[in-house]
Structure 1
Amino acid sequence: MNSFWSSVLFLFFVIYEKCEAKSHPKPSCGYPPSQWCRTLEIAVECGVQKQCMELNATRPDPSVPPVEVTVYYESLCPGCRSFLTEQLFPTWTMLKDIMTVHLVPYGNAEELPEQNSFLCQHGEPECKANMFEACILNVTGHAAFPIIYCMASSSDVINAALPCLQLNAPSVEWEAIKSCVTGGLGHSLMHENGVKTRSLKPTHRHVPWVTFNGVYADDWEDKAMSTLFNLVCKLYEGIKPPVCTGALKKLNRSFC
């Protein structure tokens, strides 16, 4: 791990420990930490309203549009899973106030209208996993990305769907996901993803295929695969948040 990500992880754990020490969330709080500041009601229930107010005071100017990152991918593609888990999710965790993420699970799949099915690069399991993730995106909204990150990080993407849902969106019923997958909605969502993917200009040549604010560029993709964090900071047109500029709080130095 390079020094940059070591610093990022250090900062994350410092903030987490500080919040743990001060907020003492109620045991009955039914929301994961990523959602504690989503609404005032949730913040009150979890006992972190003071920390959420402090967080809101440091957020970027809402009039400046966030960087829109759209990823066209396949659920079982090793390169896609690596990008989601090693680049996209860590970057989003740190920069979610200045970026939005859109996921389009489909990739190199092919729709077979006469058979009312799809043909996927990594076989039938990938078609099923793609549909699960499309349904999760449709049903769970803001909680979808952490769920899909959890699935992509596991050794079995499909069987991880239920525990990942329960961990990141405990209020969502599993039956809502299953009915989407087994019913007509899942097929419609995959058809829409296929239309979006086939409409890309330039046409995608591989996956993951990443666009920024709806635009694809070779040099952006090269940077996204290795230093997505830096690229998002560079593309954001507002005042850079402290984490982008490296303006970490200076600690007092002492020696023994």
Structure 2
Amino acid sequence: MKLSVLLPVFLFLCIDSRGSGMSHPKPACRYPPSQWCRSLEIAIECKVQKQCMEVNATRPKQDVPPVSVTLYYESLCPACRVFITQQLFPTWTMLQDIMSVTLVPYGNAKEIPSGNSPFTCQHGEPECRGNIIEACIIHLTRHSALHIIYCMESAANVLSAAQSCLQLYAPSVSWSSVDSCVTNGLGDRLMHANAAMTRALKPPHTHVPWVTFNGEYTEENEDMAMSSLFHLICQLYKGVKPPACNGARVRLDRSFC
């Protein structure tokens, strides 16, 4: 199932209260700072509605559509984990006003018509479980999904981190609902949808991570995405570039599964 992840901006990371006259908000609420401006209700509960209004007022107007990034990946693929943690999430953190992200956990898995498990995965049964857990989390948490997936993929053990990452970034979603999704058939249906999306890729994927931009794949974009996704998003965006795009280009190593 294709689920776009459009998430709110990180707030108050670099506010200097001495120079601006603003004081740091000290909300007593159950949401992390990354979600304070996700909705008016959350902003009121966390007592940051004034700050959220100021942030929204300074965002660039979306006269042109954001760059659509779709990542086809596997939960335990080392190269996918590096891409998510070192390229995708940091880039989205800085450029989420001009990009949208869709996560498709499946990758090089295979559907099996019969057998105890309907899927086999490149990195074994734990990866199949990781894929289905992440598919369920994406389905259930929507706006918080990228935070949770990043939290899991950056942990020493992806599967063991799932519950605590969910509690941290989506406290209103119970782990039992994720577990139910994994075991009651919904997870298998989500994985089947991800399999169909992956098989429909043109050209067909040959490795993961496999990334499309605005629905299209090119080797040129892949080369740049693997080494400097941030620069590529700035380049592809057709509207007024945000100030962050004026920074120096940084390249990272590329790898695949």
TM-score, scaled relative to structure 2: 0.87
Paired residues, number:
235
Superimposed CA distance per residue, residues 152-204 of structure 1 (whole angstroms, 9 cap, x where no aligned partner): 00111111000000000011111110000011100000111000001000000
For residue 236 of structure 1, report the CA deviation from its aligned partner.
Answer: 0.7
For residue 13 of structure 1, report the CA deviation from its aligned partner.
Answer: 4.3
**Would the aligned equivalents of 1:67 and 1:99 in 2 still touch at CA under 8 Å?**
yes
- Write the distance in 2 (CA, Å) between the matches of 1:108 and 1:78: 13
Superimposed CA distance per residue, residues 181-230 of structure 1 (whole angstroms, 9 cap, x where no aligned partner): 01110000011100000100000010000000000010111111111111
For residue 24 of structure 1, report the CA deviation from its aligned partner.
Answer: 2.2
Structure-2 residue corresponding to 1:228: 229
- Write the distance in 1 (CA, Å) between the matches of 2:160 and 2:219: 35
Structure 2 counterpart of 1:65, which letter?
Answer: P
For residue 16 of structure 1, report the CA deviation from its aligned partner.
Answer: 8.3
Structure-1 residue corresponding to 2:187: 186
Structure-2 residue corresponding to 1:110: 110
**Would the aligned equivalents of 1:23 and 1:48 in 2 still touch at CA under 8 Å?**
no
Distance 1:163 1:17, change over 3 A: farther
Structure 2 counterpart of 1:217, which letter?
Answer: T
2:59 matches 1:59: yes
For residue 15 of structure 1, report the CA deviation from its aligned partner.
Answer: 3.7
**Would the aligned equivalents of 1:23 and 1:51 in 2 still touch at CA under 8 Å?**
no
2:31 matches 1:31: yes
- Write the distance in 2 (CA, Å) between the matches of 1:73 and 1:234: 24
Percent identity over the alignment is 63
Structure with higher RCO (Cα < 8 A, 6+ apart): 2
- Write the distance in 2 (CA, Å) between the matches of 1:17 and 1:146: 27
RMSD: 2.0
Structure-2 residue corresponding to 1:44: 44
- SS of residue matched to 2:225: helix
For residue 25 of structure 1, report the CA deviation from its aligned partner.
Answer: 2.5
Superimposed CA distance per residue, residues 50-78 of structure 1 (whole angstroms, 9 cap, x where no aligned partner): 22112111212223100000000000000
The runs of 5 or more residues in structure 2 that have no matched partner are: 1-10, 249-257
Structure-1 residue corresponding to 2:205: 204
Structure 2 counterpart of 1:237, which letter?
Answer: K
Distance 1:82 1:32, change over 3 A: same
**Would the aligned equivalents of 1:210 and 1:216 in 2 still touch at CA under 8 Å?**
yes
Segments ≥4 residues shifted beyond 3 Å: 15-19
Structure-1 residue corresponding to 2:89: 89
Structure-1 residue corresponding to 2:8: none
Q: Which sits farther off after the overlay, 30-39 or 131-140?
A: 30-39
- Write the distance in 2 (CA, Å) between the matches of 1:122 and 1:152: 15
- Write the distance in 2 (CA, Å) between the matches of 1:114 and 1:140: 31
Structure 1 counterpart of 2:138, which letter?
Answer: L
- Write the distance in 2 (CA, Å) between the matches of 1:17 and 1:122: 48
Structure 2 counterpart of 1:42, which letter?
Answer: I
- Write the distance in 2 (CA, Å) between the matches of 1:119 and 1:17: 53
- SS of residue matched to 2:160: coil
For residue 14 of structure 1, report the CA deviation from its aligned partner.
Answer: 2.0
Distance 1:113 1:16, change over 3 A: farther
- Write the distance in 1 (CA, Å) between the matches of 2:247 and 2:223: 23
Higher helix fraction: Structure 1 or Structure 2?
Answer: 1
